[in-house]
């Protein structure tokens, strides 16, 4: 069932993936088929749940997650233990909801898909642990609509888990009740933003919500709600089974962040795909594992973690791919899936393509995003045709700035700004080449550049 057919898959053999070093992928089969309940249980599956229920309180689980320093793999890198601790407070038990963000629509990103299609029981086990820690009584998996194979795998796994008593009332004799609903989205990028996701789940238009209150205070249906990415939740079983120190040790040589990361590469490399490696592995190692650049072309630039991250240069390849290091370089680790660009490719066209995507996916609530992104696309298209005008680059600088942090209701606009701003910084000459030489008529026109741009 559910054999992966797409080109982007795990590129590590079963011999390389071991329980001690590859907590996310060691159980995956060579044939790419889903790991069913029997096989999952035979490979130590649900052992973490049993152990936690036997010996640990919700507070213990949160403390272990904090010490392990599992940082959110959805792109923000927020500590999962810290997030879980926020919903611990309050008198009501059960308290609220656990939402798994499986909307994965970030350009160049396909990591959650692997886990969802091939190992849904790992996610279910992670969700049980998170729900126990947060006193949640219901969980939802918000799944990207186009992931039909993942929907099939998840539906089967949920049924298996329910039949075996891993979901429902009194799980494993623990007195703890928890069940999960699979909710398929309609395929909008903005539904991945956690508060838009909540609105969509409630049947409302998928606009992000104003914050505060944050979901941990008041989320789905007004209840305290934890929203976590698929990969984040999939880390919980190994952390609880083997402890925070073991998890930290997995990446101790290369990063302060704990554990492994499901990294990936796509673009002009010999073989795109996914690899589970210690978090903090370098981009160079990843590129080598991908067989290097295709057709002997040189690397021009790369995005470290999806379309909403900033471009980096070949000289950054030896930096650790972790949240703080990539942040210090002016970009973001994001999803940790690299998009590689070669010397023949146009960064201008790539950015135009990305901004077209972001413009289309804007929810339209804030002006810089709703109006600024289509305007940006128009300017980039003109530059691509060689019909840009003097002042266009300065205008793009201003638009990128207006899309930046703290100027809009959600991080969609700052995400759209990152590739634009970094491309203007590193590849300005490409943009400059798109400005047409001034014509006689234009030279005679005394209209100030900025006003001229606005009315054209």
Ligand X SMILES: Cc1cc2nc3c(=O)[nH]c(=O)nc-3n(C[C@H](O)[C@H](O)[C@H](O)COP(=O)(O)O)c2cc1C
Q: How far is the CB of 14 from ligand X (least distance, A)?
A: 27
Kindly state whether residue 426 participates in binding ligand SF4, applying the rule CB under 6 A: no
The single residue among 17, 22, 27, 73 that binds ligand X, judged by CB under 6 A, is 73
Kindly state whether residue 80 participates in binding ligand SF4, applying the rule CB under 6 A: no
CA separation for the pair 346, 429 (Å, rounded): 11
Q: Which stretch binds ligand X (CB under 6 A): 43-51, 55-63, 186-194, 440-448?
A: 186-194
Compute how many residues bind ligand X; rule: CB under 6 A.
24
Sign of the torsion formed by the C-alpha atoms of 432, 319, 229 and 146: positive
Give which of ligand X, ligand SF4, none residue 160 binds (C-beta under 5 to 8 Å, depending on kind): none
How buried is residue 344: exposed, middle or buried, by Cβ count under 10 Å (0-12/13-18/19+)? exposed
- Please give the structure tokens belonging to residue 73: 């793999």
Token pair 């634009």 is found at 420
Q: How many CB atoms lie within 10 A of CB 136?
A: 26
3 state SS of 337: strand
Kindly state whether residue 194 participates in binding ligand X, applying the rule CB under 6 A: yes
Q: Which stretch binds ligand SF4 (CB under 6 A): 172-180, 210-218, 356-364, 431-439?
A: 356-364
Kindly state whether residue 366 participates in binding ligand SF4, applying the rule CB under 6 A: yes
Q: Which is nearer to ligand X, 103 or 117 (CB)?
A: 103
Q: Which stretch binds ligand X (CB under 6 A): 88-96, 99-107, 164-172, 251-259?
A: 99-107
Token pair 């990305």 is found at 354
Cβ proximity of 317 and 286 under 8 Å: no
Q: Which is nearer to ligand SF4, 236 or 366 (CB)?
A: 366
CA separation for the pair 342, 340 (Å, rounded): 7
The single residue among 53, 246, 365, 426 that binds ligand SF4, judged by CB under 6 A, is 365
Kindly state whether residue 362 participates in binding ligand SF4, applying the rule CB under 6 A: yes
* Distance, C-alpha 342 to centroid of its chain: 24
3 state SS of 425: helix
Kindly state whether residue 411 participates in binding ligand X, applying the rule CB under 6 A: yes
Q: Which is nearer to ligand SF4, 65 or 359 (CB)?
A: 359
Q: How far is the CB of 215 from ligand SF4 (least distance, A)?
A: 15
CA separation for the pair 167, 183 (Å, rounded): 17
- Please give the structure tokens belonging to residue 407: 């100027």
Token pair 């959600």 is found at 410
Strand order in the sheet with 260-267: 273-278, 260-267, 337-342, 299-303
Kindly state whether residue 192 participates in binding ligand X, applying the rule CB under 6 A: yes
Give which of ligand SF4, ligand X, none residue 369 binds (C-beta under 5 to 8 Å, depending on kind): ligand SF4
The single residue among 25, 119, 232, 422 that binds ligand X, judged by CB under 6 A, is 232
Q: How far is the CB of 207 from ligand SF4 (least distance, A)?
A: 6
CA dihedral angle for residue 26, residue 31, residue 36, residue 39, rounded to 10 degrees: -60
Residues that bind ligand X (CB under 6 A): 72-76, 78, 101, 103-106, 189-190, 192-194, 227-229, 232, 410-412, 415
Residues that bind ligand SF4 (CB under 6 A): 190, 208, 362-366, 369-370, 408-410, 412-413
């Amino acid at each position: 069932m559910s054999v992966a057919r797409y080109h982007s898959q795990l590129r590590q053999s079963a011999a390389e993936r071991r329980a001690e070093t590859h907590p996310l992928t060691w159980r995956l089969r060579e044939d790419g088929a889903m790991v069913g309940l029997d096989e999952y249980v035979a490979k130590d599956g649900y052992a973490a749940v049993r152990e936690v229920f036997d010996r640990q309180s919700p507070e213990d689980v949160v403390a272990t997650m904090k010490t392990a320093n599992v940082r959110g793999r959805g792109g923000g890198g927020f500590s999962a233990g810290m997030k879980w601790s926020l919903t611990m407070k309050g008198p009501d038990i059960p308290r609220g909801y656990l939402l798994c963000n499986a909307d994965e629509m970030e350009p160049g990103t396909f990591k959650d898909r692997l886990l969802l299609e091939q190992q849904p029981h790992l996610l279910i086990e992670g969700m049980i642990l998170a729900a126990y820690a947060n006193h949640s009584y219901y969980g939802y998996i918000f799944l990207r609509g186009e992931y039909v194979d993942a929907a099939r795998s998840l539906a089967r796994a949920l049924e298996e888990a329910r039949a075996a008593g891993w979901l429902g009332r009194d799980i494993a004799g623990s007195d703890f009740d928890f069940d999960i609903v699979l909710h398929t989205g309609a395929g909008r990028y903005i539904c991945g933003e956690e508060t838009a996701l909540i609105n969509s789940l409630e049947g409302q238009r998928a606009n992000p919500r104003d914050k505060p209150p944050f979901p941990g205070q008041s989320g789905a249906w007004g209840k305290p709600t934890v929203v976590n990415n698929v990969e984040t939740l999939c880390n919980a079983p190994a952390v609880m089974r083997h402890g925070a120190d073991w998890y930290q040790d997995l990446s101790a040589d290369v990063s302060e962040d704990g554990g492994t990361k499901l990294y990936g590469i796509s673009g002009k490399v010999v073989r795109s795909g996914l690899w589970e490696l210690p978090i903090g592995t370098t981009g160079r190692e990843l590129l080598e594992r991908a067989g290097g650049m295709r057709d002997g072309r040189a690397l021009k630039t790369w995005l470290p973690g999806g379309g909403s991250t900033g471009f980096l240069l070949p000289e950054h390849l030896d930096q650790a791919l972790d949240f703080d290091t990539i942040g210090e370089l002016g970009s973001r680790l994001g999803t940790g899936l690299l998009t590689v660009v070669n010397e023949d490719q146009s960064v201008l066209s790539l950015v135009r393509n990305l901004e077209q995507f972001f413009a289309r996916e804007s929810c339209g609530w804030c002006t810089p995003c709703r109006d600024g992104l289509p305007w940006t696309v128009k300017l980039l298209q003109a530059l691509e045709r060689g019909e840009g005008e003097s002042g266009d680059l300065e205008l793009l600088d201003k638009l990128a700035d207006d899309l930046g942090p703290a100027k809009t209701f959600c991080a969609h606009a700052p995400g759209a700004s990152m590739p634009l701003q970094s491309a203007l910084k590193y590849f300005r000459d490409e943009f400059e080449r798109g400005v047409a030489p001034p014509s006689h008529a234009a030279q005679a026109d005394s209209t100030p550049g900025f006003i001229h741009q606005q009315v054209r």
